[in-house]
Amino acid sequence: MASDSSPGNFFTDPSSPDGFSSPIGNTFSSPAHQRGRRRRRSSPPSDATPPPNGSRFASSAASPTPSPAVRGGSRGRGRGRGVRRPPTSPPDSANTDDLPLPSSDFGDDMDEATPTYVWGTNVSVQEVKSAIYTFIKNFRESQESSDDVYAEAKYMMLIHRVLEMEGEWIDVDAHDVFAYDQDLYNKMVRYPLEVLAIFDIVLMDIVSSINEMFDKHVQVRIHNLKSSTSMRNLNPSDIEKMVSLKGMIIRCSSIIPEIREAVFKCLLCEYHSDPVVVDRGRITEPTMCSNENCLAKNSMTLIHNRCRFADKQIVRLQETPDEIPEGGTPHTVSLLMHDKLVDAGKPGDRVQITGIYRAMSVRVGPTQRSVKSLFKTYIDCLHIKKTDKSRMVADDPMEVDGSSQRIEEDVRFDEDKVKELKELSKQPDIYDRLTRSLAPNIWELEDVKKGLLCQLFGGNSLKLQSGASCRGDINILLVGDPGTSKSQLLQYIHKLSPRGIYTSGRGSSAVGLTAYVTKDPETGETVLESGALVLSDRGICCIDEFDKMSDNARSMLHEVMEQQTVSIAKAGIIASLNARTSVLACANPSGSRYNPRLSVIDNIHLPPTLLSRFDLIYLILDKADEQTDRRLAKHIVSLHFEDPKSAELDFIDLGTLTAYVSYARKHIHPQLSDEAAEELTQGYVQMRRRGNFPGSSKKVITATPRQIESLIRLSEALARIRFSEWVEKHDVVEAFRLLEVAMQQSATDHTTGTIDMDLITTGVSASERMRRENVLTATRNIILEKVQLGGPSVRLLELLDELKKQSSGPELQLHDLRNAVATLASEGLVVLHGDSVKRV
Amino acid sequence: MGGPPYDCLSNPLGAVRFAFEKAMASGSHPSAFGGKDWGALDLFRHFLSEQSALSQVPILNPQTIRLVQPNTLVRYRGMIQDMLGNEFYVGAYKDGSSWRTNKFADVSQFPMCSSPDMCVWERRLLYCVPVPGQSSWTKSSYQPQLNQGMESSSQKKEKRRRLDVEDMDRITDDELETSPSAKKMREGDCFPSSEFRASVPEGNFPRTCTFLDVDKDSLPCLVKIYDSPESELKLNDIFEFIGVLTFDSESEAATNDYDEVSNSFSDDELVQLPPNKVPRLHCLIHRKLAVHDFLQSSPILEVNPHIVKEIREALLRHLTAVLGDDGIAAHFVLLHLLSRVHNRVDDVAVGKLSLNLIGLSKESVSVFGTRLSNVVESLLPFTHCLPLKLEDLNAASLAPKKDYQINRLRPGVLQIPEGSHLVIDETQLKAGSLDAVGVENARLLKNLTEFQKVEYDFQYYKLEMAADIQLLIFSDGKSNILPADIVIPFQPSSVGSYKEVATEALEAWRWYLATVRSLPHSIESDMQKVVEDDMVAARQADQSLGSQDFSRWLTMGRLMSSSFGETSLSMEHWQMVKELERLRRERLKLK
């Protein structure tokens, strides 16, 4: 093959006798493109400078079976578009067109009075054309139409913009078409090949009327069809129709250059032939040099760099997991991408595509006489839109830190679904129903589930002007006896939460949870790697076996749970990573079983600083209670013997629940109503006052500012559950109740029975502190009385006996005394040597 | 309806066409069918309604594949391993003035290139493989039927055609070589209808040797399904397909000729499943198979409590002998063999009863483990044995994995049909480190034991498939990778050999296991009360008992009464369960 060293563009070559060189230049294998080409010739200004790319209907026509049977109106042969089979006919109508006719016919046809019809239908080409024209010229979005009639039509505006940007296509929302002209929409969906080609012509007409010099070919791209099909339901009747599908890209072919126009050169006289147009997937090599002086036979050779190619790519789309019925495997479909759509998606992307469902017959082989009766189907892709990656929307739109480049088109819940969800939210018992539907196989634990529900919905995060921020995430700690399905609850929430990591305390290290810095072994650069908490940003981080976590790892959680960031300061890297995550942790009591005689702190053995960062702490105790046991027995028996259908209560299934949560998190941002705010203040004041009940000399803190923040978060979450934009009074009341339930279980001072936040914040209750104070005073008195300065030392046990004689209070332990003596020693009153105390 | 003027067995397509023409004659238009049946299936159902007719249809397997002729009626038994989606084909087209159909065929019989009137219909493609882990005793049941089928079909030969000598030499199966039917078979071909003959271009004429590349042990098959709802055929189900066997010899040559574009569209079946390796079956009738269909014969047809009890005793004696006179373990093994998942509530698979025999060392496994595996293999139709080794765990994923390069599901060890039995030998496991694959495999096994679910790897996401697999685990201590429902220390008291069992007894046991396993079960309200009381009392006595223990008790109760052929839980059986539990707990304590 000879290669031409002067890659001149033959389009601009004046010597080229390109009498009817395509203005669009799309020389496709399929006659369909030729139709399109001819049609587009009608735009005169583009004649001289053909735009580089063309129609999207390129397909490799596999079966060259021209049908003589189909011709359009009287002179409609130029209107190749008129050739159309009835919808039930086999899908190779694209190939049934005749050869392209001399282009001169076309312009005449355009002005002809006799209507031409799309073959086999009553779709008039002229009508469609004018309908599209009026649509483009006149469609305005509803909200602007009322006050501003003179505003430019939406698509005219778009066209202007495209002209300015030198864009190549215009996205047309099918909903707009539907709203403006239902009939046009229906025609477009049923006969997309024809209607879109007309659309393109109209577009080019308009473009050329605006700017005669605009030489690019502008295409129309339809998206957002009224109804989208599932891949599974594509059937023969959809062939040649416009369809919209959701799916996941699983494979992309490499980019295939498809030849559109070929140029040949004579090996003898160096004469360059006219561009040869691809005809039905083939290029006919000229057998003879057309130079009059040469006329050599079989001397022509292809010049690669003067041929024109277009990009093409074949992409495989697979059903998304949620569409696969039980016991099935996902279906796949091939997509044909052209030009700009090439590489628009990568494997793994979830996309919604709009395209034309096509089929081509399978040639068994060139030598075969019998055509295989099979069709291979594919979709000529018109438009591709990426949808979100994960099944749920993890985005919290209340995000205030201004990352504006977040993609707008995340998940758009389709209207029906939203309607359904809203319907659901209007039910009066929605709160209870959601609670019931949460882990339905775990019975009881109503309040715990309610707390978890609040965690799922979450409150609003707040960023103040000063830069300080308030988290909206609710942290929950479950403490309980083994075998009380804590882990199951955790697993369930993990499954449901928008994003999240499930980890077990025992297997987590500090860096595994937060982030760590490593040296890249090859480059030696320091690299930051995210841990579980950072990865579950905007989600829920479930930590099982919280108590078995190393102290080092736990201490890392302090920052995360209040500031919601992870800061790293290591050689080379100082960074602060976002970790806006809710923490759901569960722990076993320190003695594996909860000891009711010990305080919560003693039972849990967690540092109080960390404990106070949990909004709700639930104690799930396995009470030896015959009632519960009986319920358990009944539950299990029914599990084994009852018909599963009859046992089905009105649970909301997992999918709906997920959608409900996602929708609420995304779209509902409740605000405190005045009434609710009032209630909140009142309640808080009351809660604090409870510590100072008359007759009590000691100071008991029943609530701290952290609690009021928790309360706000909880009430916001409760409003979200109802899809309400306002936090009502009853939300606050319920939040108080939830908090109190959790507090009563965890922060009750078991000696007095009142709630004591000190238990959580310092690990020592007020009454305990009072007692210690008493012991200390008594010890001091005894030592001052009994022990001589510089005299013989006294054994601790003796002191204890002495103390016991004096005090009438509750039993005194040796370690209490030891504590007291240690305090005295620090005061410098005594010295402690092993077991003996000596006054100094 | 009178006798059909064609042979359903050797010319099924003729029958299809006959019915089609009849439907056409009565004035219907093919587009009205929409691909639905026009009465052809009724013909075949009618034909197959006689038991003898069914047995005449040859079964497709590696032995018979060389003998059966294309375009004849065959049977194929297999598991749906993968679903390859739908395929559009020209269902009906006009040839001149008359309509023709392509249904149940790959290649049109009449030239159709210039026909403008075509109806495009769709069919589903299923990739089936022989049931994994099929016990040898189920396979032997094919043989007699095969010969019978060959006999009858060969008698109907009208035309004879010699096969290449070379091909005959390749037939290695001695039995078939010498059997008279096979000889006849080799002498002739199967195209009795002259019409059919004429319609097939000579170049297409299939040679019987096309399937020579077939693997000796397994014969996959691409089944094309017509007219049946999607929900009827599920992944991993075992089916018997009766349909037309076809293949097109030309495809081999054709594959090279594809240009890149069409190749990427049609990469899958033709390239990955070459027709000379994977036969195509156009399914007319399909039927889901149960264990019963794999039994040799059904010696007893009704559940008679007396007989059932006798068989139960005999089987239990046998199991006890096999287990070195460990009666308690034998009881548990029996219950275990009867278990199946009969209900799923959320994540809980109700009815599973996995068994972990502990106290087995590497040495004792080689005696008792092998023995027990053999016994299980001889009793259940689908059995697997999986020695858990570190290198194997790290080597390859146990779960099926979607390979997007070939757009197929690569089978994994854990892709096995419902009701399979899996023996996992953990004693082989040595200390060492697991890599990512190994950890994933350990997790898969754990999920399988806990939830009876297997996650299929679709690369971009995982798809959970419900499974129903009986798990028997051998380990030294309690297995943590596979947390079984029942952990029992195995305490054999003798290593004495057990005597071989007569075939009749084996058959009776197989029948017993298959039948009793599928019995319905219920509980009377007063019995329910007793059970609940027992549970409450047990929990009062021992707080550590949880829902899992109670669940196990109930499953055992159900299986215990089932094992006696009864359909509701009785006091006596409940007591037996409690006693078994007590003995088991005692053993655990001693350990």
Q: What is the pLDDT of residues B485-495, one digit of tens each?
A: 889 988 888 77
Nearest chain B residue (CA) to A439: B346
The mean pLDDT value for A440-468 works out to: 77
Closest-CA residue of chain B to A629 = B536
Q: What is the pLDDT of residue A811?
A: 67
Q: Which residues pair with A311 in a beta bridge?
A: A257
Assess whether pLDDT exceeds 60 at residue A23.
no
Highest mean pLDDT (candidates A629-643, A652-666, B503-517): B503-517
Higher pLDDT, B46 or B33: B46
> Who among B82, B237, B266 is closest to A329 (CB)?
B82
Question: What average pLDDT does range A322-327 have in this prediction?
Answer: 77
CA atoms within 13 A on the CB side of A46: 30
Among chain B residues, the shortest Cα distance to A346 is held by: B460
Q: Provide, rounded to the nearest whole percent, the portion of chain B with pLDDT above 70.
A: 75
User: For chain A, what percent of residues have pLDDT higher than 90?
Assistant: 0
Fold entry, domain A766-839: Arc Repressor Mutant, subunit A (1.10.10)
Q: In the predicted model, what is the mean pLDDT of residues B250-270?
A: 44
How far does the CA of residue A214 sit from the closest CA of chain B (Å)? 33
**Predicted pLDDT at A373:** 66
Region A565-569: mean pLDDT is 77
More confident residue, B157 or B243: B243
**Minimal CA separation from A54 to chain B, in Å:** 19
State whether A641 and B204 contact (CB < 8 Å): no
Q: What residues does A383 pair with on adjacent strands?
A: A354
The DSSP line for A286-344 is PSB---TTT--BT-EEE-GGGSEEEEEEEEEEE--GGGPPTT----EEEEEEEGGGTTS
CATH architecture of A245-386: Beta Barrel (2.40)
Size of interface A-B (CB pairs under 8 A): 213
User: Would the CB atoms of B250 and A236 count as touching at under 8 Å?
Assistant: no
The CATH architecture of the domain made up of B305-500 is 3-Layer(aba) Sandwich (3.40)
* Listed range (A149-153, A415-419, A428-432, A772-776) with the worst mean pLDDT: A149-153
Q: Flag whether pLDDT at B369 surpasses 80.
A: yes
For domain A668-761, the CATH class is mainly alpha
Q: What does A727-754 look like in DSSP terms, one character per residue?
A: E-HHHHHHHHHHHHHHHHHHTB-TTT-S
Beta strand A308-318 with A256-262 is antiparallel
Q: Mean of the pLDDT values across residues A405-410?
A: 36
Which one is predicted more confidently, B144 or B358? B358
Q: What is the pLDDT of residue A65?
A: 36
Give A289-314 pLDDT, tens digit per residue.
777 777 777 777 788 788 888 888 88
Say which DSSP state A69 is in.
T
Under DSSP, the state recorded for B5 is S
A76-133 pLDDT, tens digit each? 333 333 333 344 334 343 333 333 333 333 434 444 445 566 666 667 788 888 888 8
CB nearest to A626's CB, from B122, B404, B540:
B540
- Give how far A336 is from chain B: nearest CA, Å: 9
Q: What is the pLDDT at residue A119?
A: 63
Asked if A636 lies within 8 A of B554 by C-beta distance, the reply is yes
Residues of B in contact with A319 (CB under 8 A): none
Q: Using an 8 Å CB-CB cutoff, list chain A residues near B250.
A: 364-365, 368
Q: Name the minimum distance, in Å, from the CA of A588 to any CA of chain B.
A: 15
pLDDT digits (tens, 9 = 90+) for B384-435: 888 888 888 888 888 888 887 777 888 888 888 888 899 998 888 888 888 8
Q: How far apart are the first and last CA of chain A?
A: 109
Smallest CA–CA distance, residue B367 to chain A, in Å, is 37
CA–CA distances in Å: residue B39 to residues A666, B44, B195: 55, 9, 21
Burial B521-537 (b: 16+ CB within 10 A, else e): bebeeebbeebbebbbe
Rounded to 5°, angle at Cα B349 from B347 and B354: 125
pLDDT tens track for A520-543: 666 666 666 777 777 777 788 888
* Span A338-364, average pLDDT: 78
**Contact in structure between A35 and A201 (CB atoms under 8 Å):** no
Q: pLDDT tens digits, residue range A543-554?
A: 888 877 777 777
The model's confidence at residue B273, banded by pLDDT at 50, 70 and 90, is low
Task: Please report which confidence band the pLDDT of residue A408 belongs to, taking 50, 70 and 90 as the band edges.
Answer: very low
What's the pLDDT score for residue B177?
A: 38
Pick among 3.30.1640.10, 3.40.50.150, 3.40.50.360, 3.40.710.10: CATH of A31-227: 3.30.1640.10
pLDDT in tens, B286-314: 888 887 777 766 555 666 778 888 888 98
Residue A29 confidence (pLDDT): 37
Record: contact A327-B465, CB cut-off 8 A: yes
Above 60 in pLDDT, residue A638? Answer: yes
The answer to whether residue B267 scores a pLDDT higher than 70 is no
Burial of A419 (0-12, 13-18, 19+ CB in 10 A): exposed
Q: What is the pLDDT of residues B195-247, one digit of tens each?
A: 333 333 333 333 333 444 445 567 888 888 887 777 788 888 888 888 888 76
- Domain definitions of chain A by residue range: 31-227, 245-386, 415-666, 668-761, 766-839
| Mean pLDDT on B342-359 | 83
Return the pLDDT at A642. 64
Of A388-402, A493-507, B24-38, minimum mean pLDDT range:
A388-402
Judge whether A585 and A480 are in contact, CB under 8 Å: no
Q: Are residues B114 and B76 in contact, defined by beta-carbon separation less than 8 angstroms?
A: no
Q: Is the pLDDT of residue B164 over 80?
A: no
pLDDT value at residue B336:
92
Give the pLDDT score at A418.
80
Check if the beta carbon of residue A82 is closer than 8 Å to that of residue A119.
yes
Query: What is the arithmetic mean of pLDDT over B471-482?
Result: 85
pLDDT in tens, B65-102: 777 777 888 888 889 888 888 888 877 777 767 777 77
| Average pLDDT of chain B, as a whole number | 75
Q: Which CATH architecture has domain A415-666?
A: 3-Layer(aba) Sandwich (3.40)
- Which of B257, B258, B345 would best serve as a mutation to test chain A binding (most A beta carbons within 10 A)? B345
